[in-house]
Structure 1
Amino acid sequence: MEHISPMLPREKMLNFGITSLTDDELLALFLRTGTPGKTVFTLARELLQHFGSLYGLLTADLAEFKHVEGIGVAKYAQLKGIAELARRFYSVRMLEEDSLLTPDMTREFLQSQLTDAEREIFMAIFLDNKNRVLKHCHLFSGTLNHVEVHPREIVREAIKVNAAAVILAHNHPSGCAQPSRADKEITARIIKCCQFMDIRVLDHLIIGRGEYVSFAEHGWI
């Protein structure tokens, strides 16, 4: 029987689309070359096994690669570049698209911006009355487990761009996305402050590591 070679990632992508690639095939497409004695496919597979997932791999720091054979500064730079390119893509996409098409798009954007942050960051997405994105920005930054939020500043930014609605978000660097009592209290204060200016708070998302909590999904807004 004639042996049929497996399709290379580039050929597979051209024939069936980029989403047809497995994680290791997609990673191999970016890395392009392996290391001495190891093909790029073997390298990609071993990296994913070592770090557990694409997320674990792309959020690892340089020190975590010291026990990974064949990974030097050049390969590490490639991996960090992939993560940063994705973050910038989502940032631009939010302003280029006509609207927030789905909750998934909002979540993916916020995860790209906040998941890897080492301290708490509070940000907002401001929208017009047709849910088109007017602006998104980091409003407040804090420590590992606390960020001070000023509701009046959020309202002030909303008024500047004539926003009709806002989506709130912040991260938990600990990785656990469950809201604290303080999170719920500040959300209530922001909603009350926004109501005076007829600005709707559509959601507040807390971003952890590989998880998130949406206040709207839980019926808390």
Structure 2
Amino acid sequence: MTLQELQSLSGIGRIKAIELQAVIELGHRIHKHETLEMESILSSQKLAKKMQQELGDKKQEHLVALYLNTQNQIIHQQTIFIGSATRSIAEPREILHYALKHMATSVILVHNHPSGAVSPSRNDDHVTKLVKEACELMGIVFLDHLIVSHSDYFSYRENTDLI
């Protein structure tokens, strides 16, 4: 409900409406977190659909890392970097920091291309190679790197031999 809709209810002023919105948002976040943690990743396509909804309409590149347990359940999701309209910068050490912190056994990277074109760039290929090498050194499985737009996706696992 909007602030105005809440304020239109009898006995609810501006401050109470703001408090109610905060409580509602907190409930959404808790529910999303609990749902996220129980969700198993069964396919790149299923994950791509989910991430298209989350990142597909962003105007800047967002790089998100998903950290999974041995049952391929997401145990943590972290936005690693928000870039410009055409570029993001990712450091393997930052990606692996969260993997180690959350005791993840595998990692999936997802980023969007605001242009709508999901073909990987040379930089995307380079980052994928670096992260794969870093994961191998740390004993963490690098499951996939997805590039998403509003209506399409690209999976390194499905379309290349880099993973």
Give the alignment's TM-score, normalised by structure 2. Answer: 0.76
Equivalent position to 2:59, from 118, 124, 127? 118
Matched letter for residue 37 of structure 2 = L
Cα deviation, 1:17-69, whole Å, max 9, x if unaligned, reads: xxxxxxxxxxxxxxxxxxxxxxxxxxxxxxxxxxxxxxxxxxxxxxxxxxxxx
Q: CA deviation at 1:90?
A: 7.2
- 1:175 matched to 2:116: yes
Q: Compare the two structures and name the one with the higher strand fraction.
A: 2
Q: What is the aligned partner in structure 2 of residue 155 from structure 1? A: 96
- 1:192 matched to 2:133: yes
Size of the aligned set, in residue pairs, is 134
- 1:106 matched to 2:106: no
CA distance in 2, matches of 1:184, 1:139: 17
- 1:143 matched to 2:84: yes
- Using the aligned pairs only, state the percent identity: 35
- 1:214 matched to 2:155: yes
Equivalent position to 2:105, from 141, 164, 167? 164
CA distance in 2, matches of 1:219, 1:91: 32
CA RMSD of the aligned region, Å?
2.0
Whether the 8 Å CA contact 1:176–1:209 is kept in 2: the answer is no
User: Structure 1 stretches (4+) deviating beyond 6 angstroms?
Assistant: 88-91
Matched letter for residue 92 of structure 2 = P
Equivalent position to 1:94, from 26, 36, 40? 36
Are residues 90 and 208 of structure 1, via their aligned partners in 2, closer, same or farther at CA, if it must alter by over 3 Å? farther
Matched letter for residue 125 of structure 1 = L
Whether the 8 Å CA contact 1:172–1:208 is kept in 2: the answer is yes
CA distance in 2, matches of 1:102, 1:215: 13
Runs of at least 5 residues in structure 1 that lack an aligned partner in the other structure: 1-87
Q: CA deviation at 1:110?
A: 1.1
CA distance in 1, matches of 2:33, 2:151: 19
Give the alignment's TM-score, normalised by structure 1. Answer: 0.57
